[in-house]
Amino acid sequence: MLLILWGILKAIGIVLLFLILLFILVIFLILSVPVRYKINFKYTDRADCYICVSWLVHFIHIEYSTADGAVFKVCGIGILKRKNKSFISDRDKTNKSDKAVKTNEDSRILTSSTLEKTENNKCVLEKNKADKKVIREKQIKKKIPGSKRISLFYKIKYIFSPSRIYRKLKNRLTALYKKVKKQLIRLANGSKKAKKKFLRLLSDQSLRRAVKKIFNGFLKISAHCLPISINGYIKFGTGDPYSTGNILRYTALCIPLYKNKFDVIPVFDESIIETDTRLKGRVSIRVILGVISRLYFDRDVKKLLKKFL
């Protein structure tokens, strides 16, 4: 009996160790492997955009294009394949119109008895849908945290659910916006107490440091998320040589940024806009989390958050 219990405990321990190691490996990969993105934008007669986001040598692959729609793949297996309805060929439109005509003719041929049957079937389907909604509501109520029959899995799922985190962030940001708005309205009305409070806030060095740190953190994140390489060309012309020359003069100021990477082609004879731009970049979650964690655990930032939240 003891040997059987020992074997069961050993198997449970091996499974738990494997799950812990797998969890550590997943976190390490998320933090170390960056998310890569590609953006291709073309404009000749119409605008065409292609966006590709991949992670871990295309283990997770997301694509979006204005012609084909969105595609989501995990390990090469397509989970989401959706075509955009706005870009439909003429053949599809003609086929759809023919089908619509046929359906109209068939509907005219239908007798009154068949129409009554379809109405009865609709009523039955609506009743079934209502019953299913009631069953779903009961199931959801069982999964809500605070109930007696709630399991540990549902509690963890509820705590780390992205919708809950999004709601909390949204509520906090709205509260901060309302408080700042009230203070600005008081200042605009000209109340002396509000002016004194505002001057105290400006004179406080810790708050100044906190604002500076938040601004520097935002600049670091934005600089990290910017594309690494930019390639392509832009061809423009207004039809008037004087105005195109003025535009070219302003673009010449940015030559050090796009030299040997991006071509600017002016056309003085006609009004035209054409572009084909290709952007490539990567975003490391480790860098973003590092900046946010430093700001969150900083004393000056904590003081600022306590005053406004």
Highest averaged pLDDT of the listed ranges 45-59, 81-95, 294-308: 45-59
Whether residue 221 lies inside any domain: the answer is yes
Range(s) of the domain holding residue 100: 90-143
The residue that leads in pLDDT, 306 or 108, is: 306
Q: How many domains does the chain have?
A: 4
- Residue 116 has which token pair? 């009554």
Question: Are 170 and 236 found together in one domain?
Answer: no
- Determine the 3-state secondary structure of 191 from DSSP: coil
The angle formed by the CA atoms of residues 69, 73 and 75, to the nearest 5 degrees, is 165
Same domain, residue pair 198 and 215: no
Residues 212, 199 share a domain: no
186/278 same-domain check:
no
Looking at residue 68, the DSSP 8-state letter turns out to be T
Tell me, yes or no, whether 309 and 212 share the same domain.
yes
The answer to whether 35 touches 53, Cβ cutoff 8 Å, is yes
Is the residue at 17 inside a domain? no
Asked whether the predicted pLDDT for residue 111 surpasses 90, the reply is no
Q: In this structure, are 103 and 169 located in the same domain?
A: no
Amino acid at 165: I
Confidence of residue 52 (pLDDT cuts 50, 70, 90): very high
Same domain, 261 and 279: yes
57 contact partners, CB below 8 Å, separation of at least 6 = none
pLDDT at residue 268 above 50? yes
d(CA 308, CA 172): 10
Q: Are strands 69-74 and 77-81 parallel, antiparallel or unpaired?
A: antiparallel
Residue range 16-25: average pLDDT? 93
Look at residues 185, 203, 221 and tell me which one is the last residue of a structural domain.
203
Angle, alpha carbons 285-288-290 (nearest 5°):
105
Predicted pLDDT at 158 = 63
- Residue 38 pLDDT more than 90? yes
Residue 240 identity (one-letter amino acid): D
Q: What is the pLDDT of residue 281?
A: 92
- Are the C-beta atoms of 198 and 204 separated by less than 8 Å? no
What is the pLDDT, as a whole number, of residue 148?
A: 45
Question: Do 288 and 228 fall within a single domain?
Answer: yes
For residue range 282-296, list pLDDT tens digits in order.
999 999 999 999 988
Q: What is the mean pLDDT of residues 226-233?
A: 88
- 45 plus 94 within the same structural domain: no
Residue found under tokens 């705590």: 159
234 burial type by CB count under 10 A (0-12 exposed, 13-18 middle, 19+ buried):
middle
For all residues of the chain together, what is the average pLDDT?
76
Tokens 């595609």 found at: 71
Domain presence at residue 27: no
**What number is the average pLDDT over the span 91-119?**
51
